Structure 1
Amino acid sequence: MTPRDLRGLTPPQPLEIILAEVDAAAPGQQLGYVLPHFPGPLVPLLAQQGVAVDSQMLPDFSGVQLTLTLPG
């Protein structure tokens, strides 16, 4: 899975894209995204849907990589 880079978008576009793709994804699917910072407001919305969120700072500190795992 190659994470989708959303760093160049203005808010709330990244949040809207991620939520739409989570809604369209298959159970058990993993989705990846790169964002400029940790998306605090997004995490509770994903948790309500049972989506597991893992985050890692990029090695060059230019953003955060999120890996989402849908319940399945």
Structure 2
Amino acid sequence: MPRVIRARYENGVLKPLEPLEMKEGEEVVIVLKAGEGSLAQKFYGIVRKHRPKLTRSEFLEVIEEIENEDIRGF
């Protein structure tokens, strides 16, 4: 079942910010999502030029739906 886990990149390694409850050696698929300076944030500015009434939260909901579709495809 897909879960969202926050992690920090340190010394070349992604370190989860919470326990994972996984078996040793278990493999996962990682989908990276950038922070505030992300491409999605920049794209929101472009979209707002064409849809000025679109709120940031509405935009991010659509992006999240798209990302979740991609995750389910794995």
TM-score range, shorter chain: under 0.3
* Higher normalized strand content (fraction of residues): 1
* Higher normalized helix content (fraction of residues): 2
Which structure has the larger Rg? 2
TM-score when scaled to structure 1?
Answer: 0.26
TM-score when scaled to structure 2?
Answer: 0.25
